Structures are given as C-alpha cells and as structure tokens.
Structure 1
Amino acid sequence: MLAPLPTPAPAPQAEPSLALPRSFWKDFAKRHWNREPAVFKRPFGDRAPTTGQMYEALLDAGERVRRGEYTMPLRFFIEHEEGPDGLPYYSMLMSLSNHMPRPEDGGVEGYLARLDKLLGGKRFGIVFNRLQMYQWTHWQQLSSFLSGLYEQVGVPLGNNESCIFFGNYRYTPFGIHKDNSHAFNFVVEGKKTFSVWPFETLASRPEVPKDPSLVNRPYSLFMKDKAEEDAVLSRANFIEATAGDVTYWPVSHWHRAEPTGGGLNISISVSACSAPPMFTSMAPPHEWPGHLRHTELPGKRTWQVPASVRSALRQRGQRKALLSAERESTIEWVRCLTANALDAAPPEAQEAPLAPDEWIRAHPERPIVCMPLPGKQLLVSAIGRSSTLPGSPLLRRRLERLVASLNLGKPLSVSALEQAFFSRLPSRAFSRASFRALLDDLVRWRAVQRCPAPGKKSR
C-alpha cells in the first residue's frame, strides 16, 4: 500500500497550490482509485498545509461563533474514558464560545493550555467541515489538488469538500463507519493511524442492511463492548502516516482513526463524493449524472452546461412553475461547476469599489461564465457565485464579449471596458451603475483582481 513518491509540481503564479504531477495521478488512478487504501509520503514537499494555517482557520471560526454567524459546520467533542463495557464515549458541546481559540490565547500552545483547564484534562476533538468556504488560500489548495484527480477519474458531482480534525482524542468520535465519498487525509501535525476494512469484511454484521447500494452510502457500526471491538480490530488493515503524508481509502471502506499517543493531532480530510449535491434535494426526483469529464468543467473556450445535466433538468416539463424550478437548479449547477465542483464558494474578498483608472485581470484557469437562463434572463457566474441579469439579445452579446475579454487573463482598463461596453448601446438597455456593480461583484467573488497597468510594477 506504500505509493511511489511523486515530484511536487510548482505552484502556478505563486498561488497556494497542492497540485501534483500528472504522472502521480495516472499511477494513482491505475493502482488505487476505488481499489485499495494507500499512503503517500510527503507528496507536497514544503507546500503542505501547516499547523499555523489550521489554527488561524479555527481562530476565525471561533470569532464567527462569538458573533453568532454560524455553528453548523463546527463540532466539538469531549472524550470520556469511563464508558460502559470498557469503551470510551464522546459528548458534543452545543455552546462553543468559550472552547474555540481566542486572540488572547496567543497561539496553539496558549489555546491548548486554556482548554486543558476548561475540560479538566479530558481529551477533545474539533471537526470543522467545509474549510474551503472560510479560507481562500485553502480553497485554492483544495481546487488545485482535486483538479489532477478530476483529469484522471472524472469529476465527482457530490459534496466535494475538506474538513479539519484537530485535537488529542484517541478515536474517531463517530466510531467505525463508512462515508459516501472517497477520502484523502492530509496529516498536518502528529501521527495518524487508521484502521480500514473492505466493505465485505464487515458487511455481514447483523445490523448492516443487506442492500447492495450501501457500498456507496454512509453507515456507522456500534460496538457493544471491548471484546467485540477487539475482534473487529483484529480483522483490520492499518495505515500509518505522519506530518506531510497523505492517505487514501475508497468509498467502500469502513474506517476509524486510532490512538495517537495523547499529543496534538491535526489533519485535513478531503472528500470526493458522487452522491447528488445537497441542492438537488429540493428538486423533483429524477436522475443526476454522478460524474462529468474534466473537460466539461468551465474552460477557456465557449462553455455551456454539460449535456447530461441539461437532460436531467429538462425532465421537469415546460409549465411556468417548472421552468422557474429549472432556472433555479441551473443556477445552482453553474455555481457548482464554476467552483470546480467544490461544495462551497470561497469567502468573498473585502475590497473597495473599482475606480475608472484602475486595471483588472481574471485568472485564465478560473473562467467567468455567461449563459442564458429559462425565462429570458442571463447568468454571470464565477467561482461558485452568480448574478442574474436581463437577457435581451443585445445585452447578451455585450456581456458575452465582456466576459470573453476578461477570460483572456490579460490586464484590462476599467474605463476602457466600460467605454467599449456602452458604445452604441441604448441608454435604457443597461445602466452604467449596473455595469460597475457587476465588475465589483467579480472582484468580491475573486474572479478578477486589481493589477498594475502594463509596463508598471505593482507597489
């Protein structure tokens, strides 16, 4: 199960990147994908995610919790050793204000010392889902990592996301379980040992449903006592990884993290999932494609929603209410695909409105999409966000030309873009304020960024 060591690929345009060489992904697809677990020794070199980066993410999460912004992606577990029948058990905190990092902690050591007093020495574990939604640098890392996978095995159209596991807990709080996704685990700090079992090894247990589709669905097992746990563990394979390493196991495998020795352990779990995206649960039931080819994601050339997705959307009929539902689902799909099939868009940039004398450029590998919607509307989307605009033929042509110019990835003058857009355009077709608002949206979405004029160096 020990995989060959790849040569790290250089980061494009100095962005945070976890891209791996095509040769790595070709070998991975041939030997491991949907076949067997593996461990890869330090594939990212010195580009691997750091403890500081993970701590900053949890510190930001703690500040958000204290502002009342969200709690759903964040879970805090406390380990209790005095469980029944010799097994530990875990409780989950509902109020996290005091238990997440604070600025006054001064860093990881200060936070752990304060937490040790709060918990009376008990072990703990933090599980923070959808990290890419809250940290732009990690969104870039995750997108670059998965792009190589997509090229070799296709694009899983599920809840592709990353999750921080942070703590000194001994066992996975969820116990032995399986997910509905293929799993990669990046070890950031400490040592990680996983027990893994092929699906068939534990599928004969009496509580497991005799359903062939369960091999691709989530399920949890519960041990009745220590003797049963020991018997199940005797049938496991073990994967060991240390800081900088990456592990993988297929969607079919049961798994559990094992004792770590009591010190701090940090890892990032990356899910590649083919289950229907969450937004499809609000749509009438019909078939959805499980995968796309990587060439069906938005690219440099003219792009449209892939045929398999369009076919699924059209199954709803043509009545007005159903057309509205088709429009909303189309918007969700385009957002998903412009976000590189990740489960969430990255956080918006906090920047001032553009001035006419400024210059901007788009990233050539993250194209902006402009496409018509049912109901004579037009959608402009990038990196998981979108705006819906009037869809007259004249305005559509202007917007398509604007997007095509931006997608070249070259520096462009804001004032020149505006002048070209409104040349011979009737004043009632689209306001200049709306045009500037669209450009400002693209900046906030991180689809375009400010840049120096050609021939000038940035300060």
Structure 2
Amino acid sequence: MHKDDLHIFNFIIQGRKTMSFWPFETLPDRPELPRDDPKQLRDDLALIHLKDEDERQMLAKATFSWKMPNALKQAQSQRGQRANVLAANRASTEAWVRFLTTGAMDGTPPEGKDTAPLSNEDWVRAHPSRPIVTSALTGNQLLVAANGRSSTLEVAAPVKRRPLKLVATLNTGTPVQVKELEDAFFDKLGRTSFKRSAFRTLMGDLLRWRAVQRSAETLGEP
C-alpha cells in the first residue's frame, strides 16, 4: 500500500493493471498517520506493509471501479477523429524537435529581435555543434527547427528537397553568401512552387533564432 498527498497514475502499454482506492478517512487508526494533524502525511513513511489478515480487511473497503466523466469521454472521442489525431501528431512532433535543439545544459539563446535583416550580399554560417534540424510533417509540411524554436513550411512534392539541401549546406558551418543560397534554392524551380518571400522569411527566422550568423566576410574582416 502506498499513501501520498499527490495522485500519480501510470498507464501500462500492454496487459492489465488493477488499482485500489481508499478515502483518506478509512485509515484514521493506522499508526503511520500523524496524531495531531490527520491532513498531513509523514515524509519518512510512504509505504504501509500489511499482514495477510490486515490486507484482506483493507481490500474489503477498497473501491475498484471508476466511471469516466462524460466530458472526458467526449474529449477522447474528438481526439480519435483523423483531423485531430494528425493535429496532435504535428504538435507533439514540433514540441519534441524544438526540445531536441535546445542545447541541453547550454540552454536556448535569446532571440536576436533587433538584428538587421539579411541582404543578398551578406555571408552567413551556422554552428556545426548546434545544427538546424528538419522533420517532415503530414500534409506536405516541413518543420525547420533550431535553438528551441521552429517554423513550419508548406512545401509541394517538387520542392521538398530544396529546404533539406539548404539546411544541409548551412550545417556544414562553411560561410556562404545569401544570394548563392537563394539562387541554388530556386534554380529551375517554377515561380509558383515556392515564394521568394517565404525563403527570405525562413532565413530571417534562422538569423533571429541565432541558428545562423553573419560571418567575417560580411563584416569585411580578413
């Protein structure tokens, strides 16, 4: 038997699990309970070891059934619908990919909100130790994440490889000019497949997240 002032339920993946519940008032005579304040539990005694006869008496007072509230039933039913399942899958994937890129103990750097926009003449580079991460989502969506932040791109099938190649180029850590990246991205690509404004927005996001930074070539250093 376990007694606590917090309620934690662990749901098993396979098999069955039976849980027994007692109102707190069922245990007033237990020696483990404080005498002066029955609302408080002793920190050093969390487990009660029962003798066989004592256990049978306690189980006789237990409540084994629990009825799911209607509101929870309705919520579970809605989550089971395809559109909601896909949305939940996208949300969980986005959360985990952002967590993956937070840098562990180093933490997430603050956004560079006052950073000047990139121009075609700028040179940029990413840091190989904190790479930009991509993950395919449902519905022709591609997640691009770095430093605990992410952006979702709508990409048609012919365009999918372009963002992946862009990220791979940046993740080498080699300085590259923005114009060169943009020209390579749109080389032989139809005008309606992906907007240049969306490309510039993505590059701006990466700069603001500090996933890329202006390199020495931009600053005129040798």
Q: TM-score range by the shorter chain?
A: 0.5 to 0.7
- Is contact 1:372-1:391 (8 Å) kept? no
Cα separation, 1, equivalents of 2:203 and 2:154:
16
Cα separation, 1, equivalents of 2:175 and 2:141:
29
Cα separation, 2, equivalents of 1:419 and 1:453:
19
Counterpart for residue 383 of structure 1:
147
Cα separation, 1, equivalents of 2:120 and 2:181:
9
Counterpart for residue 361 of structure 1:
125
- Does 2:82 align with 1:319? yes
- Is contact 2:119-2:178 (8 Å) kept? yes
- Is contact 2:140-2:157 (8 Å) kept? no
Offset of residue 207 of structure 1: 2.0
Counterpart for residue 338 of structure 1:
101
Distance 1:344 1:211, change over 3 A: farther
Greater RCO, 1 or 2 (C-alpha within 8 Å, sep 6+)? 2
Offset of residue 346 of structure 1: 2.6
Please give the per-residue CA displacement for 1:256-297, whole angstroms capped at 9, x wherever unaligned. xxxxxxxxxxxxxxxxxxxxxxxxxxxx99xxxxxxxxxxxx
Counterpart for residue 110 of structure 2:
347
Please give the per-residue CA displacement for 1:306-350, whole angstroms capped at 9, x wherever unaligned. xxxxxxxxxx86722111011011101100001134697331012
Counterpart for residue 411 of structure 1:
175
Aligned identity (percent) is 48
**Runs of at least 5 residues in structure 1 that lack an aligned partner in the other structure:** 1-203, 213-283, 286-315
Larger C-alpha radius of gyration, 1 or 2? Answer: 2
| Residue in structure 2 matching 1:441, options 205, 217, 222 | 205
| Residue in structure 1 matching 2:42, options 207, 226, 230 | 207
**Runs of at least 5 residues in structure 2 that lack an aligned partner in the other structure:** 1-32, 35-40, 49-74
SS in structure 2 at match of 1:446? coil
SS in structure 1 at match of 2:145? strand
Distance 1:211 1:439, change over 3 A: farther
- Is contact 1:359-1:450 (8 Å) kept? yes
Counterpart for residue 193 of structure 2:
429
Cα separation, 1, equivalents of 2:80 and 2:173:
39
Cα separation, 2, equivalents of 1:439 and 1:334:
19
Counterpart for residue 92 of structure 2:
329
Distance 1:424 1:318, change over 3 A: farther
SS in structure 2 at match of 1:453? helix
- Is contact 1:355-1:414 (8 Å) kept? yes
TM-score by length of 1: 0.31
- Is contact 1:336-1:384 (8 Å) kept? yes
SS in structure 1 at match of 2:206? helix
Offset of residue 391 of structure 1: 3.0
Cα separation, 1, equivalents of 2:92 and 2:107:
15
Offset of residue 369 of structure 1: 0.9
Cα separation, 1, equivalents of 2:47 and 2:116:
55
Offset of residue 374 of structure 1: 2.2
Offset of residue 211 of structure 1: 5.8
Amino acid at match of 1:443: L
- Structure with the bigger percentage of strand: 1
Distance 1:321 1:342, change over 3 A: farther
- Is contact 1:336-1:344 (8 Å) kept? no
Counterpart for residue 7 of structure 2:
none
Cα separation, 2, equivalents of 1:399 and 1:336:
21
Distance 1:324 1:423, change over 3 A: same
RMSD across aligned C-alpha pairs, in angstroms?
Answer: 3.0
Distance 1:406 1:328, change over 3 A: same
- Is contact 1:360-1:449 (8 Å) kept? yes
SS in structure 1 at match of 2:217? coil
Distance 1:423 1:338, change over 3 A: same
Amino acid at match of 2:42: E
Distance 1:361 1:406, change over 3 A: same
- Is contact 2:98-2:149 (8 Å) kept? yes
The number of equivalent residue pairs is 154
SS in structure 2 at match of 1:434? helix
Amino acid at match of 1:329: S
